[in-house]
A and B are shown apart, each in its own frame.
Chain A
Amino acid sequence: MRLKSFRGGAHPATMKELSEGKPIVVHRAVGEMVFPLSQHIGKPAVPVVKRGDPVLAGQMIARADGFVSANVISSCSGKVKAIESRMTSAGVIAQCIVIDNDGKYTLAPGIGEISDYTTLTNDQIVEKVKAAGVVGLGGAGFPTHIKLAPPHPEEIDYIIANGAECEPYITCDDRLMQEQPQWIVGGIRILLQMFPASRAVIAIEDNKPAAIASMERAIAGESRMEVMRLKTKYPQGSERNLVHAVTRRKMAPGDLPSDLGCVACNVTTLAAVYRAVCLNEPLMEKGFTVTGDAVAEPGNFLVKIGTSFAELLEAAGGFKTEPKKVIIGGPMMGIAATDLNVPIAKIYNALICLTEDPVEKADAQMTHCIRCGRCARACPVGLVPQMMNFYAERKDYDRYVKLHGLDCIGCGTCAFVCPAKRPLTQLFKMTKGVILREQAAEKAKAQREKEAAKV
């Protein structure tokens, strides 16, 4: 059978062999833990603890502010050292809660008690997921409780467990599917109960045969679940492409998966939903891969959220050689790190240390666009990066918007395939930022004028 996939994409070297054979190691951080108030899409959470307060592992330390926001949970026990501005992993200075970790990991009462999800209503489940601070752990950080409460739950007919893990190097989802499939299946069961008209598809790229076998074993006898093998192609794991590959439904710009009857969650998120609902464990730890040719012992970890990257790197044996480039996240969409003394937030899943900077190499070889159109064939969204590049360079933002340049997902495929080595993705990211800022400013101006007119 032909493997399912989407139109476009690219085939970067997967480089997963560095860490795919390494079992998950539970890492218990000993140093101070830092919890940024914004680890998700939406408004930052509001602290509910003060300096000097004792906290227990699993205790909520910041409350979601508004609808699109998420709670922040302490992953360790200790004392609140400070609530202050700190450098975060995204390279911005933001408000963080700093906790002096006592290393005992004393759990808050009630954590680990087993609950039966079948006795809970949908609202109760959503409430539990919200309280646990679960967000999309694949990297988007969209609060999961919103995903689980779509406007028309009866119309949801697909639950897609995203096990594609299409970014090169990263293997933590692969290992999770091999080692803890019951967590993922538990999460899917909860979602199947919430959406009675649905069936679940666990979508995995075919370069992870062990994970496919493990998930197939775990769902044996389940009538409403299936494992779907997908072609190994980047960016298979992007929501839009995954929904298309699994259901053949096309998401228009601005559509959410729920508009097409789908709920798509990363497998790690589903595991977190299971642990939140059935084990009463809020989101305190997540799978994480430390890899790259500059790391002494690449491996997979179950790391406490709030641990510093530097501490986890030590757990992986530190640097074998001096790295030239360190990336937080995957090599295609991740961000280059300049400082490793920053906390691991909910949305990060890998630290990649490379002895060679591929961007520097590409920059040295950059030439003019030869209009070969390779970028247009590769773009998973169906855009024409070559033309977008032309207009973005000339700052002709109207034409850029007309080419749907704002729908660029920044996956990096165009820049990856470009034979002229043009920094397309960076240009689009920057142009999008400029246009969105301009639009926001115009909107604010119109609002002010409207208010002035009223007065």
Chain B
Amino acid sequence: MIISTVVVLAVAGLLMGLLLVFSGEKFKVETDPRESAVRECLPGNNCGACGYAGCDALAAAIAKGEAPVNGCPVGGAPVGEQVARVMGVEAGAAREKRVAFVRCAGTCDVTKNNCVYVGISTCEAAMTLPGKGVKACTYGCLGYGSCAAACQFDAIHVVNGVAVVDRTKCVACGKCVAACPQGLIEIVPDAAPLAVQCGNREKGPIVRKVCDAGCIGCGLCVRQCEHGAVTLQGNTAHIDYEKCVGCGKCAEKCPAKIIRNR
């Protein structure tokens, strides 16, 4: 009795095993062994800063040769070299470092406050207030730190009512850009010498009423720039970093001192 049970189970087990071996061979998915090796090198934040959907997707793209070996901005040059070794290519020049930048300088001492707000302490909630938040400026940083909450790298903090990016820690993953309900954060080259630190699109008199550090859209900067890098976009100065040479003439002339050296 016991023997027949053992025999039946053993035979069944053997058959199953054979089936598994056969199907394993038959339906094998070809993977590049380099893909998992590349994945090992990547930091695993899944932040999406590379432009792919997480580290797995970037590893697959690198293995296929669609993405550069130094495609991970978080890892930077060291990870780039590791990946290059796996792929057997040269790491090449490091990618230009990019960082997030908050287009607002409306700290507590220069902008006026409309009201005292109590309630949910997030920027999205403050946006539902009439007049968009506590500050009189309806375009400025709300200061409730939704960007800071979204950042995985501890690179953005609210200081004196305005979000400030820590350029050494920022990897330009873009999480804060998506989190800011005012759309004030943009990704700029870290080497960019100048930046317009205001996002108010109203005309001068309206801006002056609400903030001492606001772009009044006078256009002096546009006239100063010899390279055509500065334009006015809806009453606010805008610098095209492709053209900007960093001469600083726009910043010199800016009456509101809102084009600043970074």
**A contacts, CB < 8 Å to B:** 85, 87, 90-93, 335-339, 357, 359-360, 363, 423, 426-427, 429-430, 433-434
Q: Is the CB of B129 within 8 A of A85?
A: no
Give how many A-B residue pairs fall within 8 Å (CB-CB).
53
Residues of chain A within 8 A (CB-CB) of B29 are: none
Given the interface pairs A91-B131, A339-B114, the reply to whether A426 lies near B202 with Cβ below 8 Å is no
Q: Can you list, as one digit per residue, whether each of B132-173 has a CB less than 8 Å from chain A (1) or not (0)? A: 100000100000000000000000000000000000000000
A347 to B182, CA, bound (A): 27
Report if B93 contacts A (CB, 8 A).
Answer: no
Q: Is the CB of B202 within 8 A of A335?
A: no
A334 to B203, CA, bound (A): 30
Q: Which residue of B lies closest to A337 (CB)?
A: B130
Q: Is the CB of B206 within 8 A of A93?
A: yes
Q: Is the CB of A359 within 8 A of B206?
A: no
What DSSP secondary structure best describes chain B's contact surface?
Answer: loop
Q: Which of B69-77, B84-92, B117-125 contacts A (4 or more CB under 8 A)?
A: B117-125
Given the interface pairs A426-B119, A426-B120, A434-B124, the reply to whether A335 lies near B206 with Cβ below 8 Å is no
Report if B192 contacts A (CB, 8 A).
Answer: no
Q: Is the CB of A359 within 8 A of B119?
A: yes
Q: Which residue of A lies closest to B122 (CB)?
A: A430
Q: Can you list, as one digit per residue, whether each of B92-136 has a CB less than 8 Å from chain A (1) or not (0)? A: 000000000000000000000011101110001101111110000
8 contacts between A and B (CB under 8 A): A85-B202, A85-B206, A91-B130, A336-B115, A338-B114, A338-B130, A339-B114, A363-B118
A87 to B138, CA, bound (A): 10
Given the interface pairs A338-B115, A359-B119, A360-B118, the reply to whether A426 lies near B125 with Cβ below 8 Å is yes
Q: Is the CB of B115 within 8 A of A92?
A: no
Q: Which residue of A lies closest to B115 (CB)?
A: A338
Most chain B Cβ neighbours within 10 Å, of A91, A429, A433? A91
CB distance from B80 to the nearest CB of A (A): 34
Residues of chain A within 8 A (CB-CB) of B115 are: 336, 338
Given the interface pairs A92-B138, A93-B206, the reply to whether A359 lies near B118 with Cβ below 8 Å is yes
Q: Which residue of B lies closest to A429 (CB)?
A: B128
What DSSP secondary structure best describes chain A's contact surface?
Answer: mixed
Q: Is the CB of A430 within 8 A of B131?
A: no
Q: Which residue of A lies closest to B128 (CB)?
A: A430
If A426-B125, A429-B128 are given as contacts, then 10 extra A-B residue pairs at C-beta distance below 8 Å, sorted by A number, are A91-B130, A91-B132, A92-B138, A93-B202, A336-B115, A339-B131, A357-B118, A430-B120, A430-B128, A434-B124
Q: Is the CB of A92 within 8 A of B128?
A: no
Q: Which residue of B lies closest to A90 (CB)?
A: B130
Residues of chain A within 8 A (CB-CB) of B125 are: 426-427, 430
Given the interface pairs A85-B206, A92-B138, A93-B138, the reply to whether A433 lies near B128 with Cβ below 8 Å is yes
A429 to B114, CA, bound (A): 21
CB distance from A118 to the nearest CB of B (A): 44
Most chain B Cβ neighbours within 10 Å, of A87, A337, A360, A434? A87
Q: Which 9 interchain pairs have the tightest Cβ spacing?
A: A91-B130, A338-B114, A91-B131, A363-B118, A338-B115, A335-B130, A360-B118, A430-B128, A430-B125
CB distance from B207 to the nearest CB of A (A): 11
Residues of chain A within 8 A (CB-CB) of B114 are: 338-339
A142 to B131, CA, bound (A): 23
Find residues 11-35 in chain B having any chain A CB closer than 8 Å to their own CB. none
CB distance from A334 to the nearest CB of B (A): 10
Residues of chain A within 8 A (CB-CB) of B127 are: 430, 433
Residues of chain A within 8 A (CB-CB) of B119 are: 359, 363, 423, 426
A359 to B115, CA, bound (A): 13
CB distance from A50 to the nearest CB of B (A): 20
A93 to B203, CA, bound (A): 12
Residues of chain B within 8 A (CB-CB) of A434 are: 124
Residues of chain A within 8 A (CB-CB) of B116 are: 357, 360
A335 to B120, CA, bound (A): 16
CB distance from B32 to the nearest CB of A (A): 32
CB distance from A229 to the nearest CB of B (A): 35
Q: Is the CB of A336 within 8 A of B129?
A: yes
Find residues 164-218 in chain B having any chain A CB closer than 8 Å to their own CB. 202-203, 206
Residues of chain B within 8 A (CB-CB) of A92 are: 130-132, 138
Q: Which residue of B lies closest to A334 (CB)?
A: B130
Residues of chain A within 8 A (CB-CB) of B129 are: 91, 336
CB distance from A347 to the nearest CB of B (A): 14
A386 to B140, CA, bound (A): 33
A363 to B120, CA, bound (A): 9
CB distance from A353 to the nearest CB of B (A): 14
Residues of chain B within 8 A (CB-CB) of A360 are: 116, 118
A338 to B133, CA, bound (A): 11
A450 to B115, CA, bound (A): 45
